[in-house]
């Protein structure tokens, strides 16, 4: 018998072409493909230990006992897939703010997928893990892999998974996360995108342009064209936030400091510093830049934000097991 326990680490990822809407809520199939960068700075460590004596799953997040329906449902999917029917004790530590738009659900479900299947003595390929992680949180599909990653939209469970993008850029890319507010958001990603799909009059426009954005950004990557790459990412992000503004009821993730951060980046561009921003379902802005320009950008941002709120991330690795 295996020892029924495993610990995995997965890193968060930030989308450059966003996933913002499901065509199948149960399978978590996205309305469009997406592209992301996995980050070294932010990650989740999760230990899963099955015990035949447990009557339900027990979940601890950062040491606190939580009742989490999403997690319980996900563990049922794991049990169905592995055929291993015990409940588990799950201990997870987020080295990233939880539910603040820094993609904790991505690292969380990627780490849980590897830990929960390994503890059940199943050893899946990364593609299989990517499909499984998708059932917990869409963005987790991509956190199975490191670096630049594409989530292929797909039409069913089998065909919707992520794969690493082999790119040959000379950018040495960085993302500066400007932490404006690390508290949990009021509108979760799940409910925000659902409201948008159901009510935004602009949603058709999103879907019909998302795949072009995706192809264009891949072309920019393959041509080593950082300027186009950044511009496409920034534009795609703002389009996503425009959907939120146009939903009923409308909502948004902007704080005054988020707008300041965007303006600083735009002003830097006017001074010919190559940088762009992207924002997810939370007020924290991420600045995309080359390592060469990092210090100039940080020096400017320091005038507006405390320096310990400026967190620099580089490309990070895919999911892996840790020694227990």
The site for ligand ADP (CB under 6 A) is made up of 44, 61, 68, 70-71, 92, 94, 98-106, 108, 137, 188-189, 281-282
Query: Taking a C-beta distance cutoff of 8 angstroms, is the pair 97, 182 a contact?
Result: yes
Alpha-carbon distances, residue 221 vs 19, 32, 152, 285 (angstroms):
19, 19, 17, 22
Would you give the distance in Å from CA 19 to the centre of its chain?
9
Q: Which of residues 143-202 bind Co ion (CB under 5 A)?
A: 189
Out of 95, 122, 190, 309, the residue judged to bind ligand DP6 by CB under 6 A = 190
Q: Which of residues 105-124 bind ligand DP6 (CB under 6 A)?
A: 105
Kind plus residue range of the DSSP H or E element containing 11: strand 5-17
x/- site string to ligand DP6, residues 79 to 108, per CB under 6 A?
Answer: ------------------------x-x---
The rounded distance, in Å, linking the Cα atoms of 140 and 13 is: 8
Taking CB under 6 A as the binding criterion, the range among 79-87, 120-128, 135-143, 267-275 that sits at the site for ligand DP6 is 135-143
Three-state SS for 260? helix
DSSP secondary structure letter of residue 44: E
Nearer to Co ion, 19 or 84 (CB): 19
Q: Is 33 in the site for ligand DP6 (CB under 6 A)?
A: no
Taking CB under 6 A as the binding criterion, the range among 17-25, 38-46, 158-166, 263-271 that sits at the site for ligand DP6 is 17-25
Q: Which of 157, 174, 41 is nearest to 103 (CA)?
A: 41
Q: Which of 127, 43, 129, 45 is nearest to 82 (CA)?
A: 129
Nearer to ligand DP6, 118 or 137 (CB): 137
Show Cβ contacts of residue 272 under 8 Å, excluding neighbours closer than 6 positions: none
Nearer to ligand DP6, 49 or 280 (CB): 280
Q: Which of residues 279-318 bind ligand DP6 (CB under 6 A)?
A: 280-281
Binding site for ligand DP6 (CB under 6 A): 15, 18-20, 28, 34, 103, 105, 137-139, 189-190, 280-281
């Amino acid at each position: 018998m295996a020892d029924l326990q495993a610990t995995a680490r997965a890193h968060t990822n930030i989308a450059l072409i966003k996933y913002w809407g499901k065509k199948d809520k149960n399978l978590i199939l996205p309305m469009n493909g997406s592209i992301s960068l996995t980050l070294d700075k932010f990650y989740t460590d999760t230990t899963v230990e099955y015990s035949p004596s447990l009557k339900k799953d027990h979940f601890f997040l950062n040491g606190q006992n939580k009742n989490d329906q999403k997690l319980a449902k996900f563990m049922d999917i794991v049990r169905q897939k592995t055929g291993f029917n015990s409940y588990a004790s799950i201990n997870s530590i987020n080295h990233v703010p939880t539910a603040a738009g820094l993609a904790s659900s991505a690292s969380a479900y990627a780490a849980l997928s590897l830990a929960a299947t390994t503890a059940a003595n199943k050893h899946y390929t990364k593609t299989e893990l990517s499909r499984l992680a998708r059932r917990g949180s869409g963005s987790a599909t991509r956190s199975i892999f490191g670096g630049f990653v594409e989530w292929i939209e797909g039409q069913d469970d089998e065909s919707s998974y992520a794969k690493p993008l082999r790119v040959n850029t000379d950018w040495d890319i960085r993302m500066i996360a400007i932490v404006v507010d690390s508290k949990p958001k009021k509108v979760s990603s799940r409910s925000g995108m659902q409201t948008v799909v159901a009510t935004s009059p602009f949603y058709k426009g999103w879907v019909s342009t998302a795949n072009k954005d995706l192809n264009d950004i891949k072309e920019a990557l393959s041509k080593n064209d950082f300027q186009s790459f950044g511009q496409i990412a920034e534009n795609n992000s703002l389009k996503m936030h425009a959907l939120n503004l146009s939903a009923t009821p409308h909502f948004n993730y902007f704080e005054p400091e988020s707008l300041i951060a965007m303006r600083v980046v735009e002003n830097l561009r006017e001074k010919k510093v190559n940088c762009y921003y992207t924002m997810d379902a939370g007020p924290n802005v991420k600045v995309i830049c080359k390592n060469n320009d990092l210090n100039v950008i940080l020096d400017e941002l320091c005038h507006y934000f405390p320096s310990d709120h400026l967190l620099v991330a580089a490309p990070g690795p895919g999911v892996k097991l840790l020694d227990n």
